Amino acid sequence: MTGYIIRRILWMIPLLWAIATVTFFLMHAVPGGPFASEKPVPETVQRAINARYHLDQSIFEQYGLYFWDLAHLDLGLSFRGDQDVLTILKDGFVVSAQLGVMSFLVAAGLGMGLGILSALNRNRPMDYAGVFIATIGAALPSFVLATFLTIIFAVHLGWFDVLGWEFGNYRKMVLPIVSLSVLPMAYIARVTRASMLEALSQDYVRTARAKGLRDQVIVVRHTLRNALIPILTVLGPIFAVLITGSFIVEHLFAIPGIGRQFVTSVQARDYGVIMGTTLFYATVVITANLLVDIAYAVVDPRIRYR
Amino acid sequence: MSQWPILRRWPVLLAGALTTLLVLAACTSGDGGSSPPQSARDGGDIVVHAGEPQSLDPHFSAAEIDLTIEQMIYRGLYDLLPDGTLRPAYADGLPQISDDGLVYTIRVKSGMQWGNGEVLDARDFVFGIQRTCNPDVAGFFQYILTNIGGCDDYYFATEASADEKADLLNLVTVSAADNLTLELRLANPQPTFSTLLALWPTYPAPDETLASVDAAWPSGADTPCNGPFCVTELVSGDHLTLGRNPNWALGPAASLDTITLRFIDDFSVALRAYQSGELDLVRVGEQDLPLVRDRSDFHSQQLPSTIGLVYNLADDLLANDSLRLALSRAIDRILYAEVVFNDGVIPTTNWIPAAEPGANIPGIFDGVIGFDLAAAKAALEEAGYPDGDGFPGVTLLAVDNATTRTEAEFLQNAFRENLGIDIAIDLVDGRTFGGRLFEGDFQLALSGWVHDYPDAENWLNGLFNTGAPINFQGCSNAEIDAAIDAAQFEQDQAIRFALLQEAERLAVTTLCGYAPLYHEGNFYLINPDLLGVQPTLADHFLPQFPEMWGLAAD
């Protein structure tokens, strides 16, 4: 197992290099540069600005320069205020992670709860209610939900704030968390329900019932544990996506998270931040997948890695 | 063309504008300072809508939000008032200009300090101008100072060695005769040069804080300041907080304790935050105008900007004068403003807005390039495409956002219905748009101009003269060139304006790259408790002069 984990971690290096290389060349292939504003500037000015930021060098020289710095763990500077990209990532990630973890807990808790209740009450009102909620949650885009929630609960009722994020301040936490967690909650609920129904129809459950075990014991000890594998498969990526930020929710609540930074940097052709956030996202997703694979082995003793 | 609802209230607005000027004039007696309204209380904190600045280095930056914040934390030699006149700020009086118009001598007020206590004198203004001309600072607006001797040579020496740059720096003709006397020598007499002394490229730089002329401009709470406010905190992606400058001496201290600028990308989000009481001042997007325009806290202000249909004259199809005329005359600009902008813009056929010194009379070109269906069809027939037959198609390049998409679709529909021709729409993001426009990779585009300073010259020189740096539409007309060249160094204001008006007439009537469509507006919601906020023509993202703002006494 340890050897497997080490190999997986070592594989991250060429994988991240490949991702960074593709991103670097794609990013420079897109028309327009970081200072190609809509208000035109004289060509001479453009040349001077390009020289200031080494954008006048060939693409391969820039590539070499970037990877030389990267090898020294220097992610460079943002074109926006010459800020350190690492600091931008760190500050953004702290906010996105707080929002993401809270949303994940809500989504996973409610989603799994709803899925289990639906499965245990199959074809009964509770099941219909659960499926209805999950379907609505899956069908409702977060920008619509966030807008409605804001208008009702912030503008009209004044219970919560429209802007920003402050951990521990419920006025700034509730609406973003609800907006971000509804979609994954619905997805988790559907997967949990399906997985639970599958597990509940297995022979070992029938055997457990025949042995006279209580339903609570059957569900917690036997069914749920076996139903967890497909649920874990989706929880990993959902966790990775949530903690790395949702551009839409961060945009609609003006939250300074990493998702908003990423999209803003793409729009602004802020090459340093684009590269930094891409590498960061890639690292998080690869790590999350590794953790999920490890979790498989923990949950299912039949799975062994060599 | 005065179909804009705000223009229907034109007399009221005019009276309001005059009142504003009188208020400003009243507030600016004496040494050029200004003060908050008397009914405002001392102190208080406000939160306003803003975007995140790219740079607060006044000698480099160009973004609208950068300039907005810079107007709050810096002041130059002069303030530029809405009517285009100069009010001394750090200058002690108007510049003395030599008889040949080449040498400007400006006295700087004594006893002035930067926010950190450093002495602010003529040497800081020399340093600031040298920074704008510096090739490593690479300022966007260096071209404004192109007439200062040696500035261009220094700026273009990007490849030069350090010693060569030092030599070139010494040839830039800006100097301090003594601590309080700034002297500038121009290569040619320039009637608009005094106005440029109010703009950010001539703002001072703290020569004791910065180690060298090309040193990085300090950021965050270390950002230098000599305006009424200083940066006290910058949180990337979230907000910037300004606090009173303790060394502000150009007038009474600002009334507000702090101004927090919240970075909000989406105007609708900002509007909801204003409605929930989280913001005191917010910019309103055109899409939200129907929701707010009847409110008492709604304020509007015309902007010095013109958006038009851009023709790439290097394209064989669009080099056809009659085709350009047909397209221009097929656009019902009044309907366009109503449908696309909820009447939030002023339909126009003028390139230069009427409020700019040296502009032509509004509507003077309506009969030449304005909406006229019969004339449009006749022009299309003359172009060789009667009723659109045989028209090969053309593509309109535009920025991909909700408003511009609607604009493009409006034009597409107008050309189809009025001329029987189809155009394709190519929507791209802002940076791609800028890049393609700059490279001439387009046929038609939606773009325009916002002035850098209020003068007709700024709307023509560089945009319409042959081979000019921003003439990406490829306009080349010897008469326009002659008029612009003659106006550039003409000392008689009346003659200069007549030449510029002629240049505009030629540029518009020949559709030399632009068919003007509308002038933009700025729209705000301002908390009624926030007093002293006066939107002006010279605003960028927010109104200027925050030292005049104050919260109403309880």
Residues forming a β-bridge with A84? A77
d(CA B114, CA B250): 12
Q: How far is A37 from chain B (nearest CA, A)?
A: 5
Question: What length does chain B have?
Answer: 554
Tell me whether A34 touches chain B (CB under 8 Å). yes
Q: Which range among A154-158, B29-33, B58-62, B388-392 shows the weakest confidence by mean pLDDT?
A: B29-33
Q: Which range among B61-70, B254-263, B327-336, B364-373 shows the weakest confidence by mean pLDDT?
A: B61-70
**Alpha helix positions (H), B318-422:** 321-329, 333-341, 366-369, 373-382, 402-419
Residues in contact with B129: Cβ distance below 8 Å, sequence separation at least 6, in sequence order? B145, B148, B151, B172, B174, B184, B201, B202
**Burial profile B342-363: b = 16 or more Cβ within 10 angstroms, e = fewer:** bbbbbbbbbbbbebbbbbbebe
Contact criterion met (CB < 8 Å) for A30 and B156: no
- A15 lies in a domain? no
In the predicted model, is pLDDT for residue B2 greater than 70?
no
Tell me whether A193 touches chain B (CB under 8 Å). no
- What mean pLDDT do residues B335-356 have? 93
* Structure confidence by residue, pLDDT tens digits, B216-272: 999 889 999 999 999 999 988 899 999 999 999 998 889 999 999 999 988 999 999
Indicate the residue of B143, B276, B428 with minimum beta-carbon distance to A45. Answer: B143
Best probe of the B interface among A30, A45, A144, by most B CBs < 10 A, is A45
Query: Taking CB atoms and an 8 Å cut-off, how many pairs form between chains A and B?
Result: 166
H or E segment to which residue B551 belongs = strand B550-552
Contact criterion met (CB < 8 Å) for B266 and A251: yes
What pLDDT does A40 receive?
63
Q: Which residues of B touch A158 (CB under 8 A)?
A: 276-277
Residues in contact with A10: Cβ distance below 8 Å, sequence separation at least 6, in sequence order? none
Q: Which residues of A touch B464 (CB under 8 A)?
A: none
Contact criterion met (CB < 8 Å) for A40 and B470: yes
Residues forming a β-bridge with B244? B229
- Decide if A42 contacts B471 (C-beta within 8 A): no
- Decide if B46 contacts B256 (C-beta within 8 A): yes
Spatial CA neighbour of B412 closest among B393, B426, B401, B425: B425
The full DSSP string for B47-70 is EEEE---S---TTT---HHHHHHH
Spatial CA neighbour of A239 closest among A118, A106, A138: A106
- A114 lies in a domain? yes
Spatial CA neighbour of A177 closest among A118, A168, A131, B271: A168
Residues forming a β-bridge with B86? B80
Contact criterion met (CB < 8 Å) for A92 and B155: no
In the predicted model, is pLDDT for residue B33 greater than 70?
no
Residues in contact with A58: Cβ distance below 8 Å, sequence separation at least 6, in sequence order? none
d(CA B329, CA B326): 5
Domain that holds residue A127: 85-299
Contact criterion met (CB < 8 Å) for A91 and B235: yes
Tell me whether A142 touches chain B (CB under 8 Å). no
* Structure confidence by residue, pLDDT tens digits, B173-208: 999 999 999 999 999 999 889 999 999 999 999 999
Q: How far is B129 from chain A (nearest CA, A)?
A: 16
Q: Which residues of B touch A82 (CB under 8 A)?
A: 55, 216, 219
Tell me whether A57 touches chain B (CB under 8 Å). no
d(CA A31, CA B434): 9
Tell me whether B441 touches chain A (CB under 8 Å). yes
Tell me whether A113 touches chain B (CB under 8 Å). no
Tell me whether A152 touches chain B (CB under 8 Å). no
d(CA A6, CA B412): 59
Q: How far is CA B463 from CA B156, B303, B357, B473, in A?
A: 21, 19, 17, 9
Strongest mean pLDDT among A9-18, B4-13, B63-72, B127-136:
B127-136
- A39 lies in a domain? no
Q: Which residue has the tokens 């809500």?
A: A106
CATH, residue A145: 1.10.3720.10
What pLDDT does A83 receive?
81
Q: Which amino acid is at B545?
A: F
B3 pLDDT band, cuts 50/70/90, is very low
- Decide if B65 contacts B51 (C-beta within 8 A): yes
At B491, list the tokens. Answer: 């000392």
In the predicted model, is pLDDT for residue B28 greater than 70?
no
d(CA B242, CA B73): 8
- A205 lies in a domain? yes
Closest chain B residue to A165 measured between Cα atoms?
B238
- A168 lies in a domain? yes
Q: Which residues of A touch B142 (CB under 8 A)?
A: 45, 48
Tell me whether B62 touches chain A (CB under 8 Å). yes
Percent of chain B whose predicted confidence (pLDDT) is above 90: 69
Contact criterion met (CB < 8 Å) for B276 and A162: yes
Q: Which amino acid is at B338?
A: E
Q: Can you give B486-534 as a three-state secondary structure string?
A: HHHCCCCHHHHHHHHHHHHHHHHHCCCCEEEEEEEEEEEEECCCEECCC
pLDDT in tens, chain A (306 residues): 788 888 888 888 899 999 999 999 998 888 777 776 656 666 777 777 788 788 888 899 999 988 888 888 888 888 877 788 998 899 999 999 999 999 999 999 999 999 999 998 988 999 999 999 999 988 988 889 999 999 999 999 999 999 999 999 999 999 999 999 999 999 999 999 999 999 888 898 889 889 888 888 888 888 888 888 888 888 888 888 888 778 889 999 999 998 888 888 888 888 989 999 999 989 988 888 888 788 777 777 777 766
Q: How far is CA B511 from CA A40, B326, B363, B368, in A?
A: 19, 11, 15, 10
Q: How far is A162 from chain B (nearest CA, A)?
A: 5
Q: How far is A28 from chain B (nearest CA, A)?
A: 11
Helices B493-509, B478-488: axis angle to 10 degrees equals 160
Contact criterion met (CB < 8 Å) for A42 and B470: yes
At B291, list the tokens. Answer: 């929701």
Q: How far is A218 from chain B (nearest CA, A)?
A: 49
B42 pLDDT band, cuts 50/70/90, is confident
- A66 lies in a domain? no
Contact criterion met (CB < 8 Å) for B431 and A33: yes
At residue B169, the 3 state secondary structure works out as helix
d(CA B526, CA B82): 20
376-405 in B: which are within 8 Å (CB) of A? Answer: 399
d(CA A72, CA A181): 38
- What mean pLDDT do residues B24-41 have? 51
What pLDDT does B21 receive?
36
Closest chain B residue to A35 measured between Cα atoms?
B431
Q: Which residues of B touch A261 (CB under 8 A)?
A: 236-237
Strands B258-263 and B45-50: parallel
Indicate the residue of B136, B156, B219 with minimum beta-carbon distance to A82. Answer: B219
Cα A233 to chain center, whole Å? 14
Tell me whether A290 touches chain B (CB under 8 Å). no
- Decide if B91 contacts B125 (C-beta within 8 A): no
Q: Which residues of A touch B238 (CB under 8 A)?
A: 164, 254, 256
**DSSP 8-state assignment for residue B119:** B
Q: How far is CA B221 from CA A25, A86, B56, in A?
A: 36, 19, 11
d(CA A139, CA B2): 46
Tell me whether B216 touches chain A (CB under 8 Å). yes
- Report the alpha-carbon angle B22-B203-B548, nearest 5: 30
Residues in contact with B170: Cβ distance below 8 Å, sequence separation at least 6, in sequence order? none
What pLDDT does B35 receive?
63
Q: Which residues of B touch A155 (CB under 8 A)?
A: 272, 275-276
B537 pLDDT band, cuts 50/70/90, is confident
Q: How far is A206 from chain B (nearest CA, A)?
A: 55
Tell me whether A254 touches chain B (CB under 8 Å). yes
Decide: residue B554, CB within 10 A, 0-12 exposed, 13-18 middle, 19+ buried.
exposed
Number of domains within chain A: 1
Q: Which residues of B touch A164 (CB under 8 A)?
A: 238, 262
Tell me whether B155 touches chain A (CB under 8 Å). yes
Question: What length does chain A have?
Answer: 306
At B110, list the tokens. Answer: 């004594």
Other beta carbons within 10 angstroms of residue B412's beta carbon come to: 16
Q: Which residues of B touch A79 (CB under 8 A)?
A: 54
The structure's pTM equals 0.83
Q: How far is B273 from chain A (nearest CA, A)?
A: 5
At B317, list the tokens. Answer: 């199809």
- Decide if B135 contacts B156 (C-beta within 8 A): yes
Contact criterion met (CB < 8 Å) for A81 and B450: no
In the predicted model, is pLDDT for residue B365 greater than 70?
yes
At B478, list the tokens. Answer: 């010897």
Residues in contact with B226: Cβ distance below 8 Å, sequence separation at least 6, in sequence order? B73, B74, B75, B90, B112, B113, B114, B115, B120, B204, B245, B247
At B411, list the tokens. Answer: 């034009």
- Decide if B39 contacts B552 (C-beta within 8 A): yes
321-350 in B: which are within 8 Å (CB) of A? Answer: none
Q: Which residues of A touch B137 (CB under 8 A)?
A: 52
Contact criterion met (CB < 8 Å) for B432 and A37: no
Q: Can you give chain A as a three-state secondary structure string?
A: CHHHHHHHHHHHHHHHHHHHHHHHHHHHHCCCCCCCCCCCCCHHHHHHHHHHCCCCCCHHHHHHHHHHHHHCCCCCECCCCCCEHHHHHHHHHHHHHHHHHHHHHHHHHHHHHHHHHHHHCCCCHHHHHHHHHHHHHHHCCHHHHHHHHHHHHHHHCCCCCCCCCCCCCHHHHHHHHHHHHHHHHHHHHHHHHHHHHHHHCCHHHHHHHHCCCCHHHHHHHHHHHHHHHHHHHHHHHHHHHHHCCCHHHHHHCCCCCHHHHHHHHHHCCCHHHHHHHHHHHHHHHHHHHHHHHHHHHHHCCCCCCC
At residue B242, the 3 state secondary structure works out as strand
What pLDDT does B5 receive?
39
- A45 lies in a domain? no
- Cα of first residue to Cα of last residue in chain A, in angstroms, is 6
Q: How far is A41 from chain B (nearest CA, A)?
A: 6
Contact criterion met (CB < 8 Å) for A163 and B143: no
**DSSP 8-state assignment for residue B308:** E
Closest chain A residue to B452 measured between Cα atoms?
A39
What pLDDT does B462 receive?
86
B491 pLDDT band, cuts 50/70/90, is confident
Contact criterion met (CB < 8 Å) for B136 and A31: no
Q: How far is A229 from chain B (nearest CA, A)?
A: 38
